[in-house]
Each structure stands twice: as structure tokens, then as C-alpha cells.
């Protein structure tokens, strides 16, 4: 079959689209930051600066791909590939529209959480293999931050599993025909959004690569295409987090019939991508101890209370 979930056309289109969008998010971010900070942003290379992405790619390809002689070379080379593979694999279970997707797994939510957890190995291995004290500090921060916020992220989604009765992302979307979970699971949404920002190492939670403290963190020693893979991997993570927010809390492709389902899905996703960028423009970076304390003292209790209350209401209504 050339059409439908899992068809070659679907797989090729999603893979090409995800990589293209991930690359052009660098342009989108710089343009929006320019608007919000009252400056121009990229506007010289091509119309509206659209070819700036191509210029950046050529620049990265032309740069010397240097491997430090003091590094653990096999691990140093492997680390950037990890974030690319884990990010791209996670898109396989995202339901973009009723007939658009790579595969429909009945454990799709667990699949995504598993691969987002594996992505932290990229930062850990990169920092360890660099044999640089700043890179090692960044990798330790990345590991601690990701492992901590994964706990709250997972708990915040269990209320959705209770209400929908499934781990399948398509079933979760279909279960929202009577009402989006952003209303009944508002606290789960807030916890998930904060955890997603921390998981993607985005400002203000970009402490594993805080320039004013540890140079560039876990990718201090990287250059050329290896640095480019870390860079694009971060934007793929932003795209994935935005897609998950839409699927889990805002009804996925559901919307009024005057627009196709895929258009609704992409419009919703673009709003949350812009929100990720707005956070970078508006918020200062906290101290690392403040970030960890906020997670365990605020995020964990809120997610647990949300889980207990949702369970209680589900039992009451079921009775």
C-alpha cells in the first residue's frame, strides 16, 4: 500500500518533513527573537533570510571536524549520533492525522518516554569522552536534570492514561473528542510543559550548557558536523515536545471541519514551538540548585496530587 499508516510515502514524508522543520526552526527562532527584542534577525541571505539555514549548513560542512587527541575517540564520535537517532525514532509513533503516521503502537506513550530518556546518553557520553572538566560538569548536570524531570513528566501523564484507558497516542487523541485534556488535566499540562523545557535543555533550563559558567557544557570540544548534530537534535526535541503537548492535551488533529486534520495539527504545534522560543526571549536562567529544588519540592508534589485526584474522580465516576 502506498497510502495509510506505515506506507513508504508516509514514512518518507514524515522523515523529510521532520528534518526540514528541525533545520528551519533555527531560522524561525532567530526571526522571532529579533521581533521580540526589537532587532532585525537574519534578513540578508535570500528572501526574509530564508537561505540563512543553507548558509549555516554549508559553513558547518566546511569547518574542520576536529577530534581532540586526549578524547575517548569512539565514544566522542558516537555521542552526537545518539540524540539524532533517539529523537527521530520518537517521531515514529506520533499520530499526525487519521491516516498519517509511521506506526500505531498500543504502547506509543511508553515508547516516546523510553526514547526521550535514552537521549540523555548523548550529553553524558559527549561530556565524558571529551576529557574536559567543563564538558564533564555539563554532562553531569544533563544527567541529573533529565533523570529528575523525567520522573515528573511520566507521573504528569498518568492522569491522561487513566482518562483515556490507553497508552496508544491515537486512542488518546480520539478520547478527546468530548473535551481536550488541557482542561481536566491542567496541572498535568503545566508539569509536563516545565519538564519538557528541562528535558530539551532549553532556556531558561539550559544549565548543562550554561555559557557563563561552563563554556558550552557537554559539547565544548565539538565542532563541524558533530556540533551540528547536537544543534539540530535540540530543535528536533523542541518539535517533538510541541507535538506531544498537542497530542496529549490539545486534541491532536481534532478541530472544526473547515480545515484538514493535518492543518489543525500543525497550527497547534506551531503555537507551542513559538512558546518555547518566547521562553528563551523572556526568562532568565536560574541557578542549578534552584532548578533541582523546584523539581523535587514543587513539580513532584503537584504531579502526585494531580494523579491521586484524577484517580479518585475516575473511580467515583466509574462507580
Model confidence over 229-263: pLDDT tens digits? 888 888 898 999 999 999 999 998 988 888 899 99
pLDDT-derived band at 178, boundaries 50, 70, 90: confident
Residue at 12 is within a domain: no
For the cut 80, the answer to whether the pLDDT of residue 33 exceeds it is: yes
| Residue 145 confidence (pLDDT) | 85
Residue at 229 is within a domain: yes
The residue that leads in pLDDT, 21 or 284, is: 21
Contact 156, 306 (CB under 8 A): yes
Residue at 280 is within a domain: yes
For the cut 80, the answer to whether the pLDDT of residue 289 exceeds it is: yes
Distance CA 273, CA 243 (A): 9
pLDDT-derived band at 159, boundaries 50, 70, 90: very high
Other Cβ atoms closer than 10 A to 74: 9
Distance CA 168, CA 105 (A): 6
pLDDT-derived band at 319, boundaries 50, 70, 90: very low
Q: What is the mean pLDDT of residues 150-156?
A: 90
Residue 280: name the closest of 5, 26, 102 by CA: 26
| pLDDT digits 0-9 by tens, 49-99 | 888 888 888 888 888 777 888 878 888 888 888 888 888 899 999 999 888
φ, ψ at 4 (rounded to 5°)? 100, 170
Joined together, the cell numbers standing for residue 45 give 541571505
Q: What is the dihedral of CA 190, 194, 196, 202, to 10 degrees?
A: 150
For the chain, percent of residues with pLDDT exceeding 90: 30
Contact 88, 240 (CB under 8 A): no
Residue at 119 is within a domain: yes
Task: Lowest mean pLDDT of 106-120, 208-222, 268-282, name the range.
Answer: 208-222
Which structural domain range is residue 142 located in?
67-312
Which residue in the block uniquely carries the three cell numbers 550548557? 209
For the cut 60, the answer to whether the pLDDT of residue 13 exceeds it is: yes
Distance CA 168, CA 108 (A): 5
Residue at 188 is within a domain: yes
Residue at 105 is within a domain: yes
| Residue 2 confidence (pLDDT) | 44
Residues whose CB is less than 8 angstroms from the CB of residue 22 and which lie 6 or more positions away in sequence, other chains included: 232, 235, 236, 239
| Residue 3 confidence (pLDDT) | 57
Contact 192, 103 (CB under 8 A): no
Residues whose CB is less than 8 angstroms from the CB of residue 263 and which lie 6 or more positions away in sequence, other chains included: none
| pLDDT digits 0-9 by tens, 184-236 | 899 999 999 999 998 888 878 887 776 667 766 777 778 778 888 888 888 89
Into how many domains does the chain fold? 1
Residue at 36 is within a domain: no
DSSP symbol at 100: B
| Residue 216 confidence (pLDDT) | 63
Amino acid at each position: 500500500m502506498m497510502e495509510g499508516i506505515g506506507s513508504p510515502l508516509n514514512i518518507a514524508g514524515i522523515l523529510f518533513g521532520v528534518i526540514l522543520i528541525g533545520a528551519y526552526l533555527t531560522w524561525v527562532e532567530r526571526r522571532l527573537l529579533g521581533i521580540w527584542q526589537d532587532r532585525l534577525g537574519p534578513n540578508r541571505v535570500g528572501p526574509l533570510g530564508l537561505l540563512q539555514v543553507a548558509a549555516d549548513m554549508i559553513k558547518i560542512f566546511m569547518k574542520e571536524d576536529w577530534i581532540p587527541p586526549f578524547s575517548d575517540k569512539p565514544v566522542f564520535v558516537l555521542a552526537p549520533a545518539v540524540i539524532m537517532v533517539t529523537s527521530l525514532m520518537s517521531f515514529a509513533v506520533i499520530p499526525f492525522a487519521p491516516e498519517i503516521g509511521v506506526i500505531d503502537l498500543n504502547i506509543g506513550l511508553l515508547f516516546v518516554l523510553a526514547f526521550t530518556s535514552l537521549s540523555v546518553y548523548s550529553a553524558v557520553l559527549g561530556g565524558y569522552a571529551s576529557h574536559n572538566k567543563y564538558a564533564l560538569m555539563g554532562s553531569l548536570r544533563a544527567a541529573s536534570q533529565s533523570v529528575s524531570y523525567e520522573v515528573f513528566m511520566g507521573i504528569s501523564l498518568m492522569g491522561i492514561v487513566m482518562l483515556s484507558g490507553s497508552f496508544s497516542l491515537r486512542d488518546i487523541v480520539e478520547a478527546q473528542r468530548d473535551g481536550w485534556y488541557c482542561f481536566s488535566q491542567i496541572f498535568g499540562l503545566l508539569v509536563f510543559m516545565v519538564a519538557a523545557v528541562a528535558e530539551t535543555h532549553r532556556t531558561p533550563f539550559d544549565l548543562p550548557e550554561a555559557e557563563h559558567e561552563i563554556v558550552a557544557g557537554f559539547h565544548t570540544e565539538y565542532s563541524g558536523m558533530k556540533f551540528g548534530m547536537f544543534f539540530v537534535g535540540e530543535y528536533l526535541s523542541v518539535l517533538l515536545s510541541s507535538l506531544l503537548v498537542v497530542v496529549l492535551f490539545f486534541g491532536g488533529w481534532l478541530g472544526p471541519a473547515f480545515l484538514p486534520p493535518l492543518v489543525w495539527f500543525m497550527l497547534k504545534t506551531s503555537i507551542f514551538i513559538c512558546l518555547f522560543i518566547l521562553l528563551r526571549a523572556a526568562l532568565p536562567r536560574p541557578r542549578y540548585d534552584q532548578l533541582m529544588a523546584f523539581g523535587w519540592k514543587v513539580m513532584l508534589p503537584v504531579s502526585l496530587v494531580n494523579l491521586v485526584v484524577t484517580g479518585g474522580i475516575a473511580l467515583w465516576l466509574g462507580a
